[in-house]
Structure 1
Amino acid sequence: MSTSQDSSGAAAAATYQVAITEQRTGRILLFDRNAQWTDANVRWSFSTGNAPGWDHPFEIRFRDTRRYGMIALMTFGRPGEGRAAIVNVTSKAHLTRADLLWSARITSYPHCVERVPDAGTVVVAGSRDRLHVFGPSSSDPATLKEVQTLEFTKAHAVLWDDQNKLLWVTGGTVVRSYRVTGSMRDSRLVKHGPDIKIAGNGHDLQPDYSRPGTLLVADSRHVYSLNKATRALTTVASLPHPKSYVRHANGQAMWTTDPNAEDSVWGGPTVHFSAGGDRTRPGAQIYKARLYTTQFH
């Protein structure tokens, strides 16, 4: 990896857990970072059975709710047929589609999903140029229905910023922010501030847990640090086709890449760590790796 990131990225990792979206088997798997990533060491999982529209998991992230405790937000699918879904993480260790709290068919190839606390809003980034805004009629996610659809070129990632009360989105060659007005079924996104230009196709947005006040943005070949207050970008890494990138609070970076951009597989078998100790599942197709946390920054 060619990188200009600071030397704190080489700090030894604390023990924490990592969730991966494994597209070959249609599963989301949670492991201890320092364990061997074998089936015997799976701490939590969600399995789709690779049903139509549920294959190829693209996103997993964890959020806290007053009603259910921890939930998982997930997206799946192929071009023209996909799903966004919510499941209660605290119910049991190994879940399937029978355990869902909510799901919706998304035909714009959904790559990411986020929840806006208090408003109850759920936003799905459809990589075929759409943002889908869902609002509930109560605290039950089963009442979510689509209330707004916005055009956004190649929308790949969406992230709630609880410090500035903004929803950040990236896709194509821009990063954009929105205010969320209203709540529940009256929730709407309103563009806020100037667009931020990036070099390639935006793929991922994550907090930088080692640097509150900044986000990490991954495009086709770069990772940037974005200052949320000034909107200034700094390149922190050059990587071949990064699909996800995040930094732990202790400074260690974790990322996934597409090792062969010419084939139809969007991930490889390995999750990389700046402190070493990469983790590999032979034969796996890992699109994203996420820290097991509900924190926004």
Structure 2
Amino acid sequence: MTGPWPAVLAAVLALALSPPASANAPADPARAWLARSSPIVAADQAGRSVHVLRGDQSRWDADGEDRGVLWSWSADGQDELSDLDPDSTWTNPSEAKLRERGGRRYLLATASGGLAAVIGYPDRRVYWAADTGSGNTHSIELLPDGNVAVAASTGGYVRLYAASLGSRATEHTQLDLPGAHGVHWDPHTRLLWALGSRELVALRVDGPSDDPGLTVLHRITLPTRQGHDLAAVAGSPGRLWVTTASAVYQFATKQRRFVSYPLQSRVSAPDVKSIGDDPVTGQILVARPEPGHACAWCTSTLTLYQPDGRRTLLHGAMYKARWWAVGAR
């Protein structure tokens, strides 16, 4: 084993085996390392909210005093979104991402009920929002020109909305993609990647921003079926995380092939809803359904690797969770 991990693991073991340090003792190096962790953003279906959570805290409580919740957003009760009927369209929040454009940061969020939104962080101002319909919207992406892509699973499509035209712009182009679950803009290839049930596709964005088009450049058959999550590998630019109903893969965009990766034998598992590595520490974050949870596709506990750990949202029903860090794109 090379790199910082032996030192980190040695510090963790030393903490477990040694007596409590005095108040004047130097800070523990393992705790100092954990304090560098990026925050985590989670789509919580129980609370109909998106929470930004402390990455170095093992338990969070969205309703308690020592909450560990840094910031939250919900479409419920937002007068600015009342025309989009959040009571029905904000059902089952399904995606949450951090993106940056023009020096501003945004929360990107979708819900299975059809709402898709780009919300200013931390001011919560709505950049763009739309009711995408009953296609089970599962993922969203903000493009450099200000337009917004969404993927809908039962709808079987990827749409590119001309969001640069205004906060309620509904003009869009659509590409059919059965089982569409993930969409991701890759600044390295300058392509929009989309994940369906059986294939990963690379899309070129054509035309002006007020009338965009999509052209399929590459179609790659998935190693196993039912593609689900699609995200950048922060520690390896030019690679994408790809999950299916059976496994977790990494895909090299330049070579256009699936490749092996460190910890694959431990990280790869069925039904992973989201995965990503922290661009600050390299730690891997996984959201996977929790056996016995009241929501069959949700979890109250997230799993981390290298170093290993768990993070629990009390009374939560998280669907996807990601590192709240710009480098995670």
The TM-score normalised by the length of structure 1 is 0.86
Q: Which residue of 1 aligns with 2:82?
A: none
CA RMSD of aligned residues (A): 2.4
Amino acid at match of 1:258: P
Paired with 1:64 and 1:262, the residues of 2 have a C-alpha distance of 34
Paired with 2:256 and 2:3, the residues of 1 have a C-alpha distance of 23
Paired with 2:170 and 2:109, the residues of 1 have a C-alpha distance of 16
Q: State the shift of 1:195 in Å.
A: 2.2
Query: Could you tell me which of 120, 141, 148 is aligned with 1:88?
Result: 120
Q: Which residue of 2 aligns with 1:149?
A: 174
- Aligned pairs, how many? 279
Q: Which residue of 1 aligns with 2:15?
A: none
Seen in structure 2, the aligned counterparts of structure 1 residues 85 and 41 have a Cα distance that, compared at 3 Å, is same
2:278·2:328 contact (CA, 8 Å) conserved in 1? no
Q: Which residue of 2 aligns with 1:45?
A: 72
Q: Which residue of 1 aligns with 2:157?
A: 130
1:241·1:261 contact (CA, 8 Å) conserved in 2? no
Paired with 2:3 and 2:179, the residues of 1 have a C-alpha distance of 33
Higher helix share: 2
Q: Which residue of 2 aligns with 1:62?
A: 98
Query: Could you tell me which of 2, 10, 17 is aligned with 2:39?
Result: 17
Query: Could you tell me which of 247, 258, 266 is aligned with 1:222?
Result: 247
Structure 1 residue runs of 5 or longer lacking an equivalent are 1-5
Q: Which residue of 2 aligns with 1:72?
A: 107
Amino acid at match of 1:286: M
The TM-score normalised by the length of structure 2 is 0.78
What CA deviation, in whole Å up to 9, does each residue of 1:143-196 have, x standing for no partner? Answer: 532321221111000000001101111120211110111232221111012323
What CA deviation, in whole Å up to 9, does each residue of 1:201-239 have, x standing for no partner? Answer: 111111111111211111112111111100111353431
Paired with 2:4 and 2:288, the residues of 1 have a C-alpha distance of 18
Q: State the shift of 1:137 in Å.
A: 5.3
1:104-115 superposed matches below 5 A: 104-106=130-132, 107-115=134-142
1:132·1:146 contact (CA, 8 Å) conserved in 2? no
Paired with 1:108 and 1:9, the residues of 2 have a C-alpha distance of 45
Amino acid at match of 2:119: V
What CA deviation, in whole Å up to 9, does each residue of 1:72-105 have, x standing for no partner? Answer: 111013xxx41101111131xxx5xxx5332111
Q: Does 1:161 align with 2:186?
A: yes
Structure 2 residue runs of 5 or longer lacking an equivalent are 9-32, 77-85
Which is higher, the Rg of structure 1 or of structure 2? 2
Q: Which residue of 1 aligns with 2:199?
A: 174
What CA deviation, in whole Å up to 9, does each residue of 1:231-255 have, x standing for no partner? Answer: 1113534313100011123332110
Paired with 1:53 and 1:178, the residues of 2 have a C-alpha distance of 28
Paired with 1:281 and 1:187, the residues of 2 have a C-alpha distance of 40
2:130·2:168 contact (CA, 8 Å) conserved in 1? no
2:298·2:317 contact (CA, 8 Å) conserved in 1? yes
Q: State the shift of 1:25 in Å.
A: 1.2
1:63·1:295 contact (CA, 8 Å) conserved in 2? no
Q: Which residue of 1 aligns with 2:13?
A: none
Q: State the shift of 1:7 in Å.
A: 7.9
2:293·2:299 contact (CA, 8 Å) conserved in 1? no
Paired with 1:264 and 1:296, the residues of 2 have a C-alpha distance of 27
Paired with 2:37 and 2:249, the residues of 1 have a C-alpha distance of 26
Q: Does 1:256 align with 2:252?
A: no
Q: State the shift of 1:260 in Å.
A: 4.2
Q: Which residue of 2 aligns with 1:294?
A: 326
What CA deviation, in whole Å up to 9, does each residue of 1:260-281 have, x standing for no partner? Answer: 4997532111111012231112
Amino acid at match of 2:130: A
Q: Does 1:31 align with 2:53?
A: yes
Greater relative contact order (Cα < 8 A, sep 6+): 1
Higher strand share: 1
Seen in structure 2, the aligned counterparts of structure 1 residues 102 and 137 have a Cα distance that, compared at 3 Å, is closer
Corresponding residue SS for 2:273: strand
1:86·1:102 contact (CA, 8 Å) conserved in 2? yes
Query: Could you tell me which of 167, 181, 184 is aligned with 2:209?
Result: 184
